[in-house]
Structure 1
């Protein structure tokens, strides 16, 4: 839409609610507010909509979701609370967790009943830490249902595409059945037929529309939210970064946007929602909050580069505070750097293949340091802990030809996709022996040879005495169900051998603006700042810097976006005004 250009001519615009950022949190707030009859503008810094959410897997962690209850899998709130207490420890905030567990199912019900946003339950998706009390083996997660991009009409051109390296020829592949079909296409007639059909439809879409139209994962979620926002008259402004907040005393009354046509003062009569994606590309705040960055290791986030901390800085200018007390300030994920033909570098998040049988991760000493198939957040945490002082945090994923051609490795796709381009650009390292591979990577050859020999001896029996891989439900789901005796373990023995270098990265950030259970931004004294709200990664993580399960970013993002809209529409701003008058009078 061209609303930003139109508004720029007058240098002033008005609305009830201004949402800064267009990820799942921001669009959730926008759709819910518009549904309540409010006039909403969404201002996005980039020239496309979707933020990190459009890159994501599209999963939300929502215990007692309507889908689970309808299937007879409702569990009450105590088991999720027990699990979160076990994971979060002293970072467990009862007020925020209770608000989330209460509102998240209502949020899903609202979107399912009133909008184009629909979800599919993850009946077999386990929590990350299956050894802890309260952990579930399924039914706490939902994922955005695939979407036909043609339903977006002209808006499809404004949808952020997935990370290219995570797609096949630009076509997204969903987790679960979809991915399994692609991984077994050369071993199953049913899978081959399925994949052939998907690819042929994709090639048709490329010829007609010049982009993928079979939308899955986070791309489907954002497309559905965009369709729902447009249907409710939400004004969608791209290339419109927010430069400063407008205030009347303590109350935030709008923001100044830098549009294509110049600066526009947007007056928001009811409130401003900050949902600009956190600070994954803000060098100063990364250095302040991430110890490995302070120690000299670069942080390579897979989030869009436009997510550079704008929302946090805007909030601080109004007196808000950004948390510095979380267990971890970022949602860690192992990332490999992919050279591209145009000279740029892609950042591939390793979320899937690490759990498959026949791969290990090692340090420069050639030693394993983690259960490779465990949670991605834990992988990076342990990689940093295993790094010698003064050395950059780095690891290598090691596999053999059988593994590479069956499962792929990072940006390298399984057979029959050729691997030559990755060998030529140096992303994929190949050697005829483990010792030669170590020398090419700068890994200690003796250490790696000993590690592989020990690993192979136990893996052949489906055992991993060092890290107990394949023990929890989450680990086993990450493996290959066709492999026995352990779906997560196989020897690395058939040359040539391969390696990809992995560095610390993230899917986004946890540390954010301190807010209350109504999504109201708080000042340094813990008092709500009238007219200012937060959602998504701009809002401080209710998980305290921990990663209990997949979907603990998008779940709270959409829920607190929904709560922000309900707070604004429900008149809770009157309470904010009383706070303001009380403080001013004092």
Structure 2
């Protein structure tokens, strides 16, 4: 009987495909079968008894990794990445009765989503209905129109898919609220200018994603989902028919390697905004900017590309934000004024990314968000108080006059006064001719405060091309066996709610496929 030493090398390196991340590649593993079933290490307790070189159920190995592939752990579904998309995919698959393993390379579950601003673009949810906010078809259409304008401005090309995710986000919110107990702020508390009709926030407002994500994590525990932390996906494991049937992981603290088999693999590893090589390759205009995240390294995209998946939209605009993200959203919930390093008004204050993008385009390095007591006493007062307390070195004020504020900011009084006058003129006219601001178009009143920010890369939109079920597709447009991608790892990934919906749809597609 032939043994493991006769296995042949058939894997490839991701470095050969992408010119980066040497050692990351696709393992060839014969034998998961056309239905995606994973082999056990043995059928009778002898780990070598049924492993013969001419048997199509034999594992192979990968360049740069230990030669032997051994599945000591298997599941129906293996989700790689535990941000909002990965959690949602795992939730739906587990609810359907499938065994699920959820793996995260960082020390704790939640990925980058847990540190996000918390803006969830969605309309017609049970949360909004409970708050008495109109959710008829006309209201939802109007909410989508507003969101569509934002997506166009951000450079999103596939608006049909974006709309699919936007509409599915309603069901996603209902799922995590009703099934998991995720907690959201009362949208009527910030609906003064219509924001509650098209936006949800976590329970405590901006920056509180733990109140949304922790209940999902707890529900996964109740559903017996196995979770792994500090383990990085190193390679996809592929069977003799060419279908993915597992993932090789490296435990980053111990250096141990583990192969985990699965009938379906979901890649939900996020974008590539932290990867200097990928930013250099695909978005070189932003390579001198820092990244808000340190974990969005594009590893999922590289693994999938090494397997033969198509990457698309990698040159799409990189989303920018300030280095204290919640401050970017204050202008959507109260009156603020943004000025550049010379004191000039620079962007529409109610568009979270506008100031960072204008600052970067102007090459001036930083900008200021100016606000007054109205913001501090408004719906996001907790966010203002908590953020400024943690970042006192960024804050100036209180200042009773514009002249005092200009001096504290190190600006020419005349420049800052001009910016205040521009806002006064726009407020009087009821229209912002300069930048198109729509929300909280009103004057500020002393005492004044100002918060300094720097532009950083915050998100990418390109990624693995998928079909309408979330299955990765190859160069000829055909779905690749057993491999799904969702969230920011995929082309078309969106904001928090859309990525949650993306994961939900992938989880449901897998449940339906395996049930069939």
Superposition map of 1:477-496 within 5 A: 488-491=442-445
How far, CA to CA, are the matches of 2:458 and 2:78 in structure 1?
Answer: 26
Q: Aligned residue for 1:19? A: 79
How far, CA to CA, are the matches of 1:433 and 1:59 in structure 2?
Answer: 33
| Equivalent pairs, count | 439
1:234 is displaced (CA, Å) by: 0.5
Indicate whether 1:222 and 2:217 are aligned: no
From 77, 101, 122, the equivalent of 1:62 is 122
Unaligned segments of structure 1, at least 5 residues? 1-9, 131-135, 147-172, 176-215, 336-346, 477-485, 543-551, 575-586
How far, CA to CA, are the matches of 1:356 and 1:262 in structure 2?
Answer: 47
Indicate whether 1:558 and 2:500 are aligned: yes
Question: Which gives a bigger RCO, structure 1 or 2 (Cα 8 Å, sep 6+)?
Answer: 1
Q: Aligned residue for 2:273? A: 280
Q: Aligned residue for 1:394? A: 366
For residue 105 of structure 2, give the secondary structure of its aligned residue in structure 1. coil
Indicate whether 1:270 and 2:263 are aligned: yes
Q: Aligned residue for 2:92? A: 32
Indicate whether 1:122 and 2:64 are aligned: no
How far, CA to CA, are the matches of 1:503 and 1:411 in structure 2?
Answer: 22
How far, CA to CA, are the matches of 2:482 and 2:317 in structure 1?
Answer: 29
- What is the TM-score when the length of structure 1 is the normalising length? 0.63
Q: 1:80 to 1:350 in 2, by over 3 A?
A: closer
Q: Aligned residue for 1:333? A: 321
Q: 1:58 to 1:503 in 2, by over 3 A?
A: closer
Q: Which has the greater radius of gyration?
A: 2
- What is the TM-score when the length of structure 2 is the normalising length? 0.71
For residue 558 of structure 1, give the secondary structure of its aligned residue in structure 2. helix
How far, CA to CA, are the matches of 2:491 and 2:475 in structure 1?
Answer: 14
Q: 1:84 to 1:47 in 2, by over 3 A?
A: closer
Indicate whether 1:236 and 2:204 are aligned: no
Q: 1:293 to 1:447 in 2, by over 3 A?
A: same
Q: 1:564 to 1:266 in 2, by over 3 A?
A: farther
1:520 is displaced (CA, Å) by: 1.0
Q: Aligned residue for 2:63? A: none
1:57 is displaced (CA, Å) by: 4.6
How far, CA to CA, are the matches of 1:409 and 1:124 in structure 2?
Answer: 10
From 330, 338, 354, the equivalent of 1:361 is 338
For residue 97 of structure 2, give the secondary structure of its aligned residue in structure 1. coil
Unaligned segments of structure 2, at least 5 residues? 1-69
Q: 1:364 to 1:527 in 2, by over 3 A?
A: same
1:518 is displaced (CA, Å) by: 0.6
Residue deviations 1:246-288, cap 9 Å, x none?
Answer: 1225311111111255434433332111112212321222334
How far, CA to CA, are the matches of 2:427 and 2:298 in structure 1?
Answer: 48
Q: Indicate if the aligned counterparts of 1:35 and 1:232 stay in contact, CA closer than 8 A.
A: yes
How far, CA to CA, are the matches of 2:165 and 2:401 in structure 1?
Answer: 52
Q: Aligned residue for 1:379? A: 355
1:524 is displaced (CA, Å) by: 2.8
For residue 46 of structure 1, give the secondary structure of its aligned residue in structure 2. coil
Aligned-residue CA RMSD (Å): 4.2
Q: 1:254 to 1:504 in 2, by over 3 A?
A: same
For residue 303 of structure 2, give the secondary structure of its aligned residue in structure 1. helix
Q: Aligned residue for 2:244? A: 252
